[in-house]
Amino acid sequence: MDVEEKLVEYTLNTHFNDLPEQAIEIMKILILTVLGTTIAGATSEGCEAVLDQVHEWGGSKEATILIYGGQIPAHNAALVNSVMARALDFCDGMVPGLHLGSTCVPAALAAAELTGGCSGKDFLTYLIVGAEAAARINSCSIYNGFDPTGVCSIFAATAIAGRMLNLNPKQMLNALALAFNRSGGSLQSNIDGAGAVRIIQGSASQGGIICAQLAKKGITGPKNFLKGQYGYFHLYADDQYNPEALFGGWGERFDLTKLVFKRYPSCWSTTSSIDAILEVVREKGLNADDVERIEITMTPSPYKLVGHPFEVGDSPRINAQFNVRYCVASALLRKGLRLKDFDEPAIRDPKIMKITDRIYVTPDPDLEKQGHNAAVVLVKTTQGITYENTVRLPRGGPESPLTREEHIERFNNCFGYAGKPLPQENAERILSMVSHLEELPDICNLIPLLLS
């Protein structure tokens, strides 16, 4: 059996009773995370512009625009909801930069409405199957500057939508092959602080629904989309194919366990440095006025993404989210890093720029031996004292996961930050519904709780 056919077989033949409790619990956390970031991010820069555009496009009333309300074609609802989910960069992640949840959850909700609803068990199953398929493909990938989210998460959205649309094996293969042809995106958007970061996320969820719909109508894609001469493995894996990484232990081990959940609303590549400076602040009582110079050493890949000098630019939040100098300066000044610290007034605080000017960042390939996201922070004080702290594994990763209480606190923080507030009682109802999702007769019952 070809690798493409094996992938299709898994996506179509996995059912709720095949899933271990660990995968189900991780998916519930992922759903709660994305609902929280959608609530918090709905009014962030660029979201209302995308909302205006989808209204201008018009079309059939198939799926709901979360927070704002109203219905539009399902693929466009997935687009705008994904943009809102990613807007604060406070969602999930997976090394080396794949963001699954902000694609999977909005695509699944829109596809569920499109097809007349589905049970909580089926919703969880389709999400886990799609996310796991993309996570396995991610494990084989070498992106070389392509955005993992745009390249890979579209496979998750397509598999999810394909299950919702009840595709047969031939149609699912074509849907995934069509998704391959729509995959793409560059991390230059992150470095340059462009709104395209969010659009790439939304395009993946939008594209997944479109690909599933086109395949159901009989549109074909290249059957060798993974192993072909110009297939995925050639373009995004340097012609390397690892059968164990892609198919080993299907249904027994889950790459979803590699998901990271952020403690801070910024790029995961900044997390180790933030953890390191905050440990020094707590243990040594360090204040911003005490600091003469900060030296940050990072592994090369995170350095390329977030190590550049900080400029406020035309998109202050995005520039701050993807800049380790800003994140460390803000954490030092405010003794923490919260959602409000990425609002424009906080970013433009003159005290921040004075600190970022004293922060120096360098890459060190040898640091990779300690971990992909390892970072060393060295602080030199005005009193001539030097503090050094190394963080190999930041909190929130699989080696040091957040507690359930921390996940709930994170959701509540997002709920309270909302620019378009929801009724307060909705917070507890959402928490309860997600916790018992497998008991829900129809996932669409969740949607009214997500409307302002």
End-to-end CA distance of the chain: 49
Question: What's the pLDDT at 251?
Answer: 83
Q: What is the mean pLDDT of residues 315-330?
A: 97
pLDDT digits (tens, 9 = 90+) for 127-180: 999 999 999 999 999 999 999 999 999 999 999 999 999 999 999 999 999 999
What span, in angstroms and rounded, lies between the C-alpha atoms of 280 and 178?
50
Residue 285 has, within 13 A of its CA and on its CB side, a CA count of 0
Domain covering 268-391 in this structure, CATH number: 3.30.1330.120
Please report which residue ranges of 47-147 form alpha helices under DSSP H: 47-57, 74-86, 101-114, 120-139
What is the pLDDT confidence band of residue 240, given thresholds at 50, 70 and 90?
Answer: confident
pTM value > 0.85: yes
What span, in angstroms and rounded, lies between the C-alpha atoms of 382 and 290?
6
Does 3.10.105.10 match the CATH number of domain 3-263+402-450? no
Neighbours of 390 (CB within 10 A): 16
Question: What's the pLDDT at 241?
Answer: 83
Looking at the predicted structure, is the pLDDT value of residue 260 above 80?
yes
Looking at the predicted structure, is the pLDDT value of residue 1 above 80?
no
- 216-236 exposure pattern, b = at least 16 Cβ within 10 A, e = fewer: beeeebbebbbebeebbbebb
Would you list the domain boundaries of the chain? 3-263+402-450, 268-391
What single-letter DSSP state applies at residue 373? Answer: T
What one-character-per-residue DSSP string does 296-325 give?
EEE-HHHHHHH-SPP---S-HHHHHHT-HH
pLDDT digits (tens, 9 = 90+) for 14-51: 999 999 999 999 999 999 999 999 999 999 999 999 99
Question: What's the pLDDT at 243?
Answer: 83
What span, in angstroms and rounded, lies between the C-alpha atoms of 37 and 25?
19
Average per-residue pLDDT for the chain: 96
pLDDT digits (tens, 9 = 90+) for 350-390: 999 999 999 999 999 999 999 999 999 999 999 999 999 99
Match 């395009």 to its residue by tokens. Answer: 203
Match 């959402």 to its residue by tokens. Answer: 430
Match 């009773």 to its residue by tokens. Answer: 17
Question: What's the pLDDT at 119?
Answer: 98
